[in-house]
Structure 1
């Protein structure tokens, strides 16, 4: 299930009994011959508190109710369940969780393709996003996702300028409400053909053009590995522009284990060393037991 399909179907879930937070279990010694990275993010030495915090996205875990995902998050030491709607805030509050990235407004359900890069879309997007900004702030959340939209033959420089013009229409409200608008960068090779915001360079140029601390980049490690690689250097040299990170394995968008090419322990250690204080969110699609996969991902992304 793709993210936009899940968001359409998301709604209220039957509440389960609440649960008390439990600490994430420390790593145990690996059996002889076992790969230590399979059970710990930092095979050498004990873990310590990282500069960043853990989050999980809602849509890849759609087989669980929201309550079940929240309960699992608490058990694993995850502080946020994201890409949910402000109407989900009471459920998150019940578990002591926040939402590190608000989903796009339901009124703009096709915003990923029909995005801010074209003036013709601006009026509808402004009408959809203004109440979403207010609702995000009212929930006590601080980040709201936005998308460039597809090119459809449009020049990248023209799309950047038109997106900046559109964002500037809602930016004063976002600034007044303390909400940061976050453009997510996607790959256009595999998952989102023709998406305009498909490179770090384009995203960074847009951030510079808008020039507000309330407009930043959601850097999806999976998507940018497919498009350009060079993840650690890119993020550490431009960390002031990146407010949030998503994970998944390449190729396949599945678990972040040895079946894929990215070494997440090194990536999160680099983020920690650079002082990144935001959230790293798991956004992989589990192929097996989702709880075991999520627990393993949190271990690998701990320092």
Structure 2
């Protein structure tokens, strides 16, 4: 995603999470559920569709929920606790929760951030579980001169302190793969192989990867083969067009129907979330088209 846009979105989400506090009584069930009037064709059910909140920040959460439900989406990605009640009202999941991270660059690969991260995630994991959600995003952070071995060792040291709590609450910590070539220079978990090695060292079903198709096309390509070879380590997928991170139509180089088929063929039961920045003035029309492309 856009470096600036995503960082700004995360700042807003983290601020909102801090504002509600971890002892707020958590009342996501307080709103009455709304039943939508669907205007989109019935989806095939082979892919569990979602969309990233930040890409549609021009719409308020309520409006995005209404439109997502009409299309047939099952949830919205990158939504923190302050908006969970709105999602619940519309029968949607927070398919990838956030709000525990510091930011994208200060992550588990640096020991100086462990105290804050462990405190944040220790508070957030029970909230995610209480809401009935399963996925909580995390980040490696930037290298800042650290070699691969140091990054892996530091990530293991920090994350292994959270794995028992995640296991207890049936929550999966999901580290996102981001490109370091265009959008997130110096990010350490910028290759599937790096993330897979971390998964192997942790050896837990409660830690997996978010395979961002856009990011990995930029940094390593070979998307379908990589998915087939490493699907057991992947809990979640993001989409966007390459180049540009815009619509996933024929203006970009990836053929998403084939990628979705490859994902489905692995037996994947998680979520695929659209994370493109719409160029079309009618952003919902772009979202509908993206879902139709990916609904194999």
Assess same fold via TM > 0.5.
Answer: yes
Q: Does the CA contact (< 8 Å) of 2:210 and 2:238 recur in 1?
A: yes
Are residues 23 and 279 of structure 1, via their aligned partners in 2, closer, same or farther at CA, if it must alter by over 3 Å?
farther
Where do residues 6-85 of structure 1 align in structure 2 (5 Å cutoff)? 6-10=9-13, 18-22=34-38, 24-25=40-41, 48-50=44-46, 52-85=47-80
Q: CA deviation at 1:21?
A: 5.0
Partners of 1:100 and 1:119 in 2: how far apart? Answer: 29
The residue matched to 1:245 in structure 2 has which SS? strand
The residue matched to 2:49 in structure 1 has which SS? strand
Unaligned 5+ residue runs, structure 1?
27-46
The residue matched to 2:231 in structure 1 has which SS? coil
Counterpart position of 1:174: 166
Superposed CA RMSD in Å reads: 1.7
Counterpart position of 1:302: 295
Q: Does the CA contact (< 8 Å) of 1:19 and 1:71 recur in 2?
A: no
Q: CA deviation at 1:7?
A: 2.7
Q: Does the CA contact (< 8 Å) of 2:109 and 2:151 recur in 1?
A: yes
Counterpart position of 1:258: 250
Counterpart position of 1:239: 231
The residue matched to 1:2 in structure 2 has which SS? helix
Unaligned 5+ residue runs, structure 2?
18-30
The residue matched to 2:41 in structure 1 has which SS? coil
Structure 1 residue ranges, 4+ long, deviating more than 6 angstroms after superposition: none
Partners of 1:119 and 1:21 in 2: how far apart? Answer: 50
Counterpart position of 2:24: none
Partners of 1:151 and 1:215 in 2: how far apart? Answer: 20
Are residues 225 and 302 of structure 1, via their aligned partners in 2, closer, same or farther at CA, if it must alter by over 3 Å?
same
* TM-score scaled by length of structure 1: 0.87
Q: CA deviation at 1:23?
A: 6.3
The residue matched to 1:206 in structure 2 has which SS? helix
Residues 108-127 of structure 1, C-alpha deviations (whole Å, 9 max, x = no match) = 432x1010001121111111
* TM-score scaled by length of structure 2: 0.89
Q: Which protein shows a greater Rg? A: 1
Matched positions, count: 276
Does 2:19 correspond to 1:3? no
Partners of 1:150 and 1:18 in 2: how far apart? Answer: 42
Q: Does the CA contact (< 8 Å) of 2:48 and 2:272 recur in 1?
A: yes
The farther-off stretch of 181-190 and 115-124 is: 115-124
Where do residues 83-122 of structure 1 align in structure 2 (5 Å cutoff)? 83-105=78-100, 108-110=101-103, 112-122=104-114
